[in-house]
Structure 1
Amino acid sequence: MQNFSNVIRISNRLVGANNPVYVIAEAGVNHNGDMNLAYQLIDIAVNSGADAVKFQLFNTDSLINSDVEKAAYQIDSDKVEQSQYEMLKGLEISPVECELLANYAKEKDIDFIVTPFDEPSLSYLLTLPLSALKISSTDLTNLSFIKKASKANVPIILSTGMSEQSEVDEAMQALVGNFKDLILLQCTSSYPAPTSQLNLRVMKKYADDYGVIVGYSDHTSGIGASPYAVAAGASVIEKHFTIDKSLAGPDHQASLSPAELALFIDEIRKVEAMMGRQVKRVELCERDNRLALQKCLVAASPIQKGEVFTRENLVARRTGGRGVPAKFLEELTGRNANINYVAGAVIES
């Protein structure tokens, strides 16, 4: 299944192997339904150096039945006695408000991405000039929803939390042949996600099996697994952040603070720099050391002009970079010396 793009343009950024890691600061519902807070979250994402800020758009009545209880992590992080429906109702932003946030993000020169959680929200987002569209793990098995999202004229980022390999296969099969600009994220949908259950190697399997750009949606605590995910091949990283971890709401406690978000992105950039290129060469910082530490050939004993070079009368030593490199010992053996050498003299040719 090699039908997806190797490099994707999101706004003015290229995403894929050998390009800078694309970092999405996930605001999610951490605005608590307050637009002023939502604007502040965009500012924090900008100041942290994130490439994109992401929000969630949903109509609670279209998303969930009114009697559904909270998920376990939502109960643990938000002690308010209410159903999941009641909680989500207080976290909605309207389509108009979403568009206002998109315009503000554009003014701030940061990409704006949204996750739709229901059909009306998806239909609305398909009319907006977004940088990309994110499909949550909760809709990985909602194949008609994924197919509809593929009609967007922007790249799609698809998370794969809470899913079996066979379900990921089905989702990819639903997209192959109809859509190319896809980024597939490994994700463990637990808050926080345990270290032993992150399975970062899955990203390589995705890349090998589907020929798709891969990334990681990080639900670990603190800076967590993302820097390691970059080393494992992630081209896209997504992480929740908040203005204040003590705020009421389901995601604040598991999110990064503004200071942590900046450190998080800095750490990713460090790992990215460490990864470098797939080219082995002498680096600038090594050049002086190479001269000082690598070995060249010297006379192990006096050698007369015309005498044959042998393994016995040649030895490799550090010479400060002067002379014939030690790797040419075999080539030099059997030749005749063209000058006299005292013991320890550097062999020049």
Structure 2
Amino acid sequence: RLMIKQAAEAGADAIKFQTYKAELITSKHSPAYWDRNKEPTSSQYELFKKYDKFWKKEYEELAKIAEEEGIIFLSTPFDYESADFLEPLMPAYKVASADITNLPFLRHIARKGKPILLSTGASTVSEIWKAIETITEEGNDQIVLLHCSLIYPTSLEKANLGMIKDMYNKFPEYIIGYSDHTLSEHVLDVLPVAWLLGAKVIEKHFTFDKTLPGNDHYHAMDKEDLKKLRAKISYLREMIGSLKKGYTDEELCARKFARRSLVARRDIKKDQIITEEDIIIKRPGTGIPPYLIDFVIGSIATRDIFEDEIIGFGDFRRPGQE
């Protein structure tokens, strides 16, 4: 309840849990793949068994709390039973990277017709395409692909955020996002870059206490981290501004007075033919723009133009023009 409340207060759009039973997700002989210095448990089964106390009733209660707090409830199912009882509680499914090749399971979820957020950690492009094909064959093309590094925790140099751009190129018809496992101290460095590279969905572990035991809390963000992240992305969005090149209203003064015009280098007498030596290009830009200099050269002055005076279109005529 506290975690949901704090995530909502910090501005998260959704909060996601994990739903599993140890005996359904792993054999008792599966070794650890996480940082043993942070989480010493050497067996996946032993670790999952510590935390698989919640089931249908508890997740229904969590979904109710999320609704009360005004935040979307999600939970990643790791077996068929949880995928089924979570269906009425969620607007979408999240599938973990580890299940991207579990095609029968993907097929089961796809048939439910809800959007699927698919993490792609430790995956090849062909594996991603096969997962997409499996889902779409069931008539479901509501897919969000999340770049992810399946390293716990992920060092900065292993985050490979550039893969977000590559995924946009390889899967242009799908929304691309990012699921992060870097340490929380890097939240304000890593996640804004992911957003700038085009990640439309950002997933990050969340906690109310980074010192809690387990494989996730130590690299999770907390309420204050999320507030700072949202503020930074909002600031970046303002800085990016328009995506169409042009000038702003605030630039009009500089556009007018910092640009240059054709100016008389010396006195020019009426009826004198204006030569290149008669002209200098100087500020402000309120007169004839420099790119029209060839049009002015060879023209005939229609009045006396004094040194350092801005030349106007009414100050000359073209030969043969009366």
With structure 1 as the length reference, what TM-score do the two structures score? 0.79
Report what 1:247 is aligned to.
212
Max Rg structure? 2
Residues 218-264 of structure 1: CA deviation (Å, up to 9, x unaligned): 22222142111122121111111211111111111111232122112
Is 1:57–1:115's contact at 8 Å kept on the other side of the alignment? yes
Residues 64-93 of structure 1: CA deviation (Å, up to 9, x unaligned): 1234333232x32234x5732232223232
Q: Which runs of 5+ in 1 are unaligned?
A: 1-38
Show structure 1 runs of 4+ deviating over 6 A. Answer: none
Cα distance 1:322–1:176, how it changes in 2: closer, same or farther (>3 A)? same
Report what 1:10 is aligned to.
none
Report what 1:141 is aligned to.
101
Residues 90-111 of structure 1: CA deviation (Å, up to 9, x unaligned): 3232222212222222222222
Cα distance 1:331–1:168, how it changes in 2: closer, same or farther (>3 A)? farther
Structure 2 SS opposite 1:271: helix
Report what 2:320 is aligned to.
none
Aligned ranges 1:60-71 → 2 under 5 Å: 60-71=22-33
Report what 1:168 is aligned to.
128
Aligned ranges 1:90-109 → 2 under 5 Å: 90-92=50-52, 93-109=54-70
Verify: 1:280 aligned to 2:245, yes or no.
yes
Deviation at 1:307, TM superposition (A): 4.2
Verify: 1:230 aligned to 2:195, yes or no.
yes
Cα distance 1:82–1:228, how it changes in 2: closer, same or farther (>3 A)? closer
Q: Which runs of 5+ in 2 are unaligned?
A: 314-322
Deviation at 1:297, TM superposition (A): 2.7
| Match among 4, 8, 11 for residue 46 of structure 1 | 8
- Which residue identity does 1:43 align to in structure 2? K
Report what 1:27 is aligned to.
none
Which structure has more helix as a fraction of its residues? 2
Report what 1:318 is aligned to.
283
Between the two proteins, what is the percent identity of the paired residues? 33
Distance 2:20 2:114 in 1: 20
| Match among 222, 228, 236 for residue 271 of structure 1 | 236
Cα distance 1:238–1:304, how it changes in 2: closer, same or farther (>3 A)? farther
Deviation at 1:199, TM superposition (A): 2.4
Deviation at 1:137, TM superposition (A): 0.6
Distance 1:318 1:307 in 2: 24
Distance 1:337 1:232 in 2: 57
Report what 1:30 is aligned to.
none
- Which residue identity does 1:227 align to in structure 2? P
- Aligned residue pairs total 307
RMSD of Structure 2 on Structure 1 (CA) = 2.3
Is 2:118–2:146's contact at 8 Å kept on the other side of the alignment? yes
Is 1:188–1:219's contact at 8 Å kept on the other side of the alignment? yes
